[in-house]
Structure 1
Amino acid sequence: MKFLKIKHFTTQIIPRVCSRLIGTSQKFYAPQNFSDYEEIRSYKQDQPEYFNFASDILDKWTAAEKDGSKTSNPALWWVNGERKEVKWSFDELGFHSRKVANILSDACDLKPGDRVLVILPRIPEWWMFNVACMRAGLVLIPGTIQLTAKDVLYRLQTSGARCIITSQDLAPAVDTISNQAPLLKTKMTVSGAREGWLNFQALYAAANDKHVCVRTRSTDPMTIFFTSGTTGSPKMVEHSQCSYGLGLTIAGKTLNSDANTYLQFSAWLRANATLTNYPITVFCSLPSVYRMLVLCNLENYKFKSLQHCVGGGEPLSPLVMEQWKANTGLDIYEGFGQSETVLVCGAFKGMKIKPGSMGKASPAYDVQIVDADGNVLPPDQEGNFAIRIAPHRPFYLFTHYTGDPEKTASTQRGDFYLTGDRAIKDKEDYFWFVGRSDDVILSSGYRIGPFEIENALMEHPAVVESAVVSSPDPVRGEVVKAFIVLSPEYTAHDQETLIKEIQEHVKKVTAPYKYPRKIEFVQQLPKTIIGKVRRNELRNKEWGKA
């Protein structure tokens, strides 16, 4: 297993597993292509009594490949920064994951329902453990390698995880706090030997590749995500075998319905080269990655295979969308969702794109704009972005905030689950993001959404990135403040002159009362692990709460 030594993960290139694979099981089959949004809205799935993604989907693809009834791209095609590659068929992914499932059950002494904290870079082992946990009926808790010892301790204590799996790089930090997590019984490192830790490589070499997948109910827990924590401490979001395993098929079938090879980027540095050198048909990434890419001279790159582009994580500036299309000829289809919801709405294939809009509701949900009491508001009126959960709760939705019934209850208003976002639905049923509920700025009686101001700022050539928050003001109560990362060409400009120029620009693009009365130039913006701007951190500093 030489690939275990590959480090410095840059990108992952994988087929659109969560949408393509469903087609192999007739019980969960849906049409491969949709011609328009009405067909998308008519797409429905039934919740089965039992479901396990590993056995019901992945293993069926293996069988289909073996009998020749289905051909496919590799199940996983992994490339690192040095252009080293790992390719697995579905059969190979099954082989590796069955061995790992035996390790988790036997060497780690884990039972179905036990929780496992996996903190790894996006190396091939990450997918092995992911699928292996499904096979063994274990609850996977993924974590990023950027976590500190304090972060790891919080997750261990809060989740009650019995096992932690990580790399040699993070193992020393784990050792400093592991004695404070009494439920933690097993530590395993994926590379090399370490005192007090199981050696995965040695265990893998000796592991049996025969394993019978645990039969899980569709309502059994499959994974727990710690929310990105734009406000407060991260919460545990629990998804069932069905909510996440089948929930992602909606995104795949409606956003990427004819994809062959899918590139998901969490880092942007090598995106141009990767899109040029590999047969990628679908590109999915954060707005920050698209922003960085359009700053490059895209005319020097030819993305010969690229057919479809998807953005998510935060709203994408219409200007970036225009620049991307001008250079690639492709639109960016945005999708909106949460850790709690999977995909809620989006610009689906075949739909007209309205730049700046979140698109229309996913077939998984009845999405509405409601007031504080849960009453549906008419078009063009700002309110709470909400998903109907009564009389029937959609099975795609997260189960609950684990160990926090008060938090779970606080998200419900009448017949709706509130996402915590403010939005508007227009007369054509397109949704428009205003901001997180606690991001909306109230100045002299006006309600101002930060996203609109940030979009206006992005149209100024001096602005690379921006974040808009409220700032205290003795007369107006609060005013708009913009934190701006400048383009290198403008860093030497006179700041007072540049501030006035930017303010006048926003007045013209939006409205005079919305312009940022305060502007601060910064080197970078604080962000969550997945790249969302932490406006609450900036806002707290402004209000003396940091």
Structure 2
Amino acid sequence: MLDPQSDDAQADGSIPDLVAAGEFRVARDFLLDHRGDYEAAYRDFRWPRLETFNWAVDWFDGVLAAERPDQTALWVVESDGSETRRTFAEMSAAAKQVAAWLRSHGVRRYDRILLMLGNQVELWEVMLAAIRIGAVVIPASTLLGPDDLGDRIERGSVDHVVARSVDAPKFAGVEGAWTRIAVGEPVQGWLAYDKAYEFAGDEAIEGRSRGDDPLLLYFTSGTTARPKLVGHTHASYPIGHLSTMYWQGLRPDDVHLNISSPGWAKHAWSNVFAPWNAGATVLVVNQARFNAAGLLDTIVRCGATTFCAPPTVWRLLIQADLGAWTVPLRECVAAGEPLNPEVIEQVRAAWGITVRDGYGQTETTAQIGNPPGQPLKLGSMGRPLPGYRIVLADVLTGERVPDGVEGEICLDLSERPVSLMRGYLDDDGHTAHVMRDGLYHTGDVAIREADGYITYVGRTDDVFKASDYRISPFEVESALIEHDAVVEAAVVPAPDPVRLAVVKAYVMLADGYQPSPEMAQEILRFARGRLAPYQRVRRIQFAELPKTISGKIRRVELRGQEASRVGRDEHEYWEEDFPELKS
């Protein structure tokens, strides 16, 4: 066997580079050692900037599988209680075999693989195998239809597809010379993934992955426009998610549960890179339909110590009697959209745990958050995380704004974080636009207080004016969901002949509540008691909220409905309908 320190070994992509792994480990251990000392972690952390780095070979094989071979790396629990476990050693061995099999079918460095699997072991095997090879992964949700898949294959210049057998028919009308690989039952014209487990060849990886080599291409969720294709490298996500690991408070030997669907960046955040950077176990709970009791039972049975879920899941969880479960959780976090203060308070009352908010994008890792042990301000998403220099800039001029003034969240590119995307695929114009004036522009608006805490206001496209006052949908929505009957709310402007626009709330009711004039009046009165006069909700509509496949509310769709509306919809009520509310 080659000496890992020799020049020949460094040229062999299948041999761990212990130097690169060592530099990565130093940065990781620094953050682990400073979990409770935010000031020192933020001040002294430096991203490892590695010329060559292959996270699957150097870190997963060279450290995790070598030092923790028998620890459970992946634990998948099904809704019927059945489960699958794989150790780090088993995952490493399987990934090597799958990589060898994929290479035997023509997969090479820089080839693009559309990966469309559910939360199943094969997804992690293919991810690790692709990283080993140096192929580029395009994650895709199993909910995508034929049109979306055709768009992704064309715009993503896909060379190979790995998909569930049950989803193969969705590709029937998608033309191209791409390799077809089916996971599950045999499919005519598709390679059977199961054959990988019988393959005995050598993966023979040529050379080593550079840190700036492409690794992941993510289609954004498309909340306000057509999904963009975000490019990440062998450094930006594997190394970049050290910030996510720090925010989540992950430790070696943790059992980390994350609620996220494959195909979206948050799945890679919390089901791959952040927990395995820490050396934790990834726990996955598959449910055909969300079941709070079943999820909480599994958390207790499996001994989950850290838990991450989007606000939608947290809002559903607090509908259950949380206090009926004695959970083993140490850390709870939320990301994807701002977390409403009411949710934080209810979880704290039931479990004595503070759900800590965090903020990031597909284009980055966790940028802002409340790390463990730090004071939390309700409504604030926290402070800049280690490795990020956050600037708030005027949306129109780009000039930096002082504390207490709304500005767009930007990253200072004079200290460009390793974790920032490479750019948007085949869209140099849009890449240049978001990285203009020495800043990366997120498109999100916030306010920073003098103590550094940052409070989310909304997307630049979501914030609007009513009676010449700027309205943050998030603030109004947070007040609305404090009502027991409200599960979710989305606030948009509704045209008005006098005020130009008024605040309208689309509301989804909790189980056991029905739309009615009485319910509308009660919620309008409730909101009035918690909001400033200029934020007053003047119209309310009970409805299901339109969402992206990843679960984010599409306010842009609701705004479009309002702009083109003629008359009222069913279950829509106006303040004028209730004379007793006039004042």
What TM-score results when the alignment is normalised by the length of structure 2? 0.84
Partner Cα separation in structure 2 for residue 214 and residue 451 of structure 1? 49
Partner Cα separation in structure 1 for residue 56 and residue 168 of structure 2? 29
Deviation digits for residues 185-217 of structure 1, max 9, x if unmatched?
A: 211101122221111112432343665475111
In the alignment, structure 1 residue 103 sits paired with structure 2 residue 101:
yes
Q: Which amino acid aligns with 1:328?
A: W
Q: Secondary structure at the match of 1:272?
A: helix
In the alignment, structure 1 residue 341 sits paired with structure 2 residue 361:
no
Paired position in structure 2 for 1:52: 54
CA shift in 2, pair 1:61/1:545, >3 Å: farther
Q: CA deviation at 1:23?
A: 7.7
In the alignment, structure 1 residue 351 sits paired with structure 2 residue 374:
yes
Partner Cα separation in structure 1 for residue 465 and residue 66 of structure 2? 58
Deviation digits for residues 259-304 of structure 1, max 9, x if unmatched?
A: 611001136423211112111100011111111111111222221x
In the alignment, structure 1 residue 518 sits paired with structure 2 residue 539:
yes
Residue pairs, 1:58-207, within 5 angstroms: 58-62=60-64, 64-65=66-67, 73-107=71-105, 109-175=106-172, 177-179=173-175, 182=176, 184-207=177-200
Paired position in structure 1 for 2:283: none
Native 8 Å contact 1:480 1:515 kept in 2 = yes
Partner Cα separation in structure 2 for residue 163 and residue 339 of structure 1? 23
Paired position in structure 2 for 1:291: 315
Q: Which has the larger displacement, 414-423 or 73-82?
A: 73-82
Q: CA deviation at 1:306?
A: 1.0
Partner Cα separation in structure 1 for residue 65 and residue 317 of structure 2? 40
Q: CA deviation at 1:392?
A: 3.9
Q: Which has the larger displacement, 437-446 or 254-263?
A: 254-263
Residue pairs, 1:87-486, within 5 angstroms: 87-107=85-105, 109-175=106-172, 177-179=173-175, 182=176, 184-208=177-201, 211-212=204-205, 214-258=207-251, 260-266=254-260, 268-269=290-291, 270-303=294-327, 305-371=328-394, 372-389=396-413, 391-486=414-509
Q: Secondary structure at the match of 1:118?
A: strand
Q: Which has the larger displacement, 473-482 or 394-403?
A: 473-482
Partner Cα separation in structure 1 for residue 317 and residue 22 of structure 2? 34
CA shift in 2, pair 1:545/1:106, >3 Å: farther
Q: Secondary structure at the match of 2:556?
A: helix
CA shift in 2, pair 1:489/1:192, >3 Å: closer
Q: Which has the larger displacement, 460-469 or 504-513?
A: 504-513
Q: CA deviation at 1:254?
A: 3.6
Query: Percent of counterpart pairs with the same letter?
Result: 35
Paired position in structure 2 for 1:535: 555
Gaps spanning 5+ residues in structure 1: where?
1-20
Q: Which has the larger displacement, 166-175 or 24-33?
A: 24-33
CA shift in 2, pair 1:58/1:154, >3 Å: same
Q: CA deviation at 1:126?
A: 0.2
Native 8 Å contact 1:135 1:213 kept in 2 = no
Q: CA deviation at 1:488?
A: 3.1
Partner Cα separation in structure 1 for residue 56 and residue 207 of structure 2? 10
Q: CA deviation at 1:519?
A: 0.6
Partner Cα separation in structure 1 for residue 489 and residue 340 of structure 2? 11
Partner Cα separation in structure 2 for residue 63 and residue 163 of structure 1? 28
In the alignment, structure 1 residue 497 sits paired with structure 2 residue 498:
no
Native 8 Å contact 1:22 1:249 kept in 2 = no
Deviation digits for residues 44-101 of structure 1, max 9, x if unmatched?
A: 2221100111111101225533xxxx57731111211122222222211111111111
Q: CA deviation at 1:331?
A: 0.5
Partner Cα separation in structure 1 for residue 464 and residue 203 of structure 2? 58
Partner Cα separation in structure 2 for residue 171 and residue 28 of structure 1? 42
CA shift in 2, pair 1:121/1:536, >3 Å: same
Partner Cα separation in structure 1 for residue 222 and residue 565 of structure 2? 16
Partner Cα separation in structure 1 for residue 71 and residue 376 of structure 2? 30
Q: Which amino acid aligns with 2:532?
A: A
Q: Which has the larger displacement, 411-420 or 226-235?
A: 411-420
Partner Cα separation in structure 1 for residue 114 and residue 203 of structure 2? 24
CA shift in 2, pair 1:286/1:63, >3 Å: closer
CA shift in 2, pair 1:46/1:448, >3 Å: same
Q: CA deviation at 1:27?
A: 5.2
Q: CA deviation at 1:497?
A: 3.0
CA shift in 2, pair 1:26/1:501, >3 Å: closer
Q: CA deviation at 1:386?
A: 0.9
CA shift in 2, pair 1:112/1:23, >3 Å: closer
CA shift in 2, pair 1:167/1:131, >3 Å: same
Paired position in structure 2 for 1:37: 38
Partner Cα separation in structure 1 for residue 501 and residue 41 of structure 2? 43
